[in-house]
Amino acid sequence: MQRSRKEELRERIEVLPDQVKKTGADPFAVDVISILSELKEDYDKLNGDELVKDAKAINSVSKIVYMQDKWLTDRLRSLGVSQEMLKERLYRLDLQPLAACLYRSQHLPTAVMHLSTPRLKMAADYWISLLGWGKTGKLGPIPDITNEKLEELNLQLDDIERELNDVRLDLRAKLSTSNILYEEYLSQREGKERLRLAYIISILCASGEVTVRFDPSISKYILTQGDGTPDSSVAIAI
């Protein structure tokens, strides 16, 4: 039985990543948009075996996209900046803009992540689209949260300095005798105050006064006295 042109196309796409690796070709020479457009044309008419071949072709396209991303990342890493040039620019800066640059460049190991309603709708639209290329689905009503009261986490500098000193003294006293469980220490506060406490601890970790480390024997994070070495950033659910 003679194979169709689309069947041959999917087979050629399936081996594309290996060919690009073997020949060292530019991954951007592969027209990903055109390939996806052509595969989409007969998607609704595919049978079981053809769907398997289509999935393999799509997987190969994703590998090509990954190669393109890696190519860009490698090129960006290769863009070096001369230390002498940096020194020269630093010497030309006045004290005030230099201080402003240092302030903007600090990144404490803490973050707050949430999913907004528009992002949830975007995710739902995406999953609906997976029913099949070219097919559409309708999303149910999105709950209205415009009038929902949301807690705000106000971080004023004066308050932070005061809380930082209080937590520093408290931890210094407690850690002088033994280590303590991170989760247990946070449990003394709830809601946004718990988040504030975690933020304060992250500042102490960034300055090397306190260390948060994972104890595999109990599968929990513990607080210990720091040795002056700043902690590396790590995501911890609180």
Q: Which two tokens stand for residue 96?
A: 């005030």
Q: What's the pLDDT band for 211 if we cut at 50, 70, 90? A: confident
Which of residues 222 and 229 earns the better pLDDT score? 222
Span 24-78, pLDDT tens digits: 888 888 888 888 888 888 777 778 788 888 888 888 889 989 888 888 877 766 6
Least-confidence region, from 102-116, 128-142, 177-191, 219-233: 128-142
Distance CA 167, CA 223 (A): 13
CA dihedral 34, 40, 41, 47 (to 10 degrees): 140
- 16-30, 87-101, 222-236, range with greatest mean pLDDT: 16-30
| Per-residue CA distances from 226 to 180, 197, 210, 235 (Å) | 13, 18, 4, 19
pLDDT of residue 170: 92
Mean pLDDT of 75-82: 65
pLDDT exceeds cutoff 70 at 105 = no
pLDDT of residue 148: 47
Distance from first CA to last CA of the chain, Å, rounded?
61
pLDDT of residue 195: 83
Inter-residue contact 202 to 108 (CB < 8 Å): yes
Long-range contacts of residues 5-9, Cβ cutoff 8 Å, at least 24 apart = 6/38, 6/39, 6/41, 6/42, 7/50, 7/53, 9/38, 9/39, 9/57
The angle subtended at Cα 71 by Cα 70 and Cα 72, nearest 5°, is 90
pLDDT of residue 79: 65
pTM of the model: 0.40
Distance CA 61, CA 58 (A): 5
Distance CA 56, CA 169 (A): 59
pLDDT of residue 234: 61
| Per-residue CA distances from 164 to 33, 73, 86, 95, 139 (Å) | 53, 38, 34, 27, 46
pLDDT of residue 78: 66
* High-pLDDT (> 70) share of the chain, %: 70
pLDDT of residue 108: 58
> 40: how many CB neighbours lie within 10 A of its CB?
13
pLDDT of residue 151: 52
pLDDT exceeds cutoff 60 at 189 = yes
Least-confidence region, from 74-88, 173-187, 207-221: 74-88
Q: What's the pLDDT band for 2 if we cut at 50, 70, 90? A: very low
pLDDT of residue 169: 92
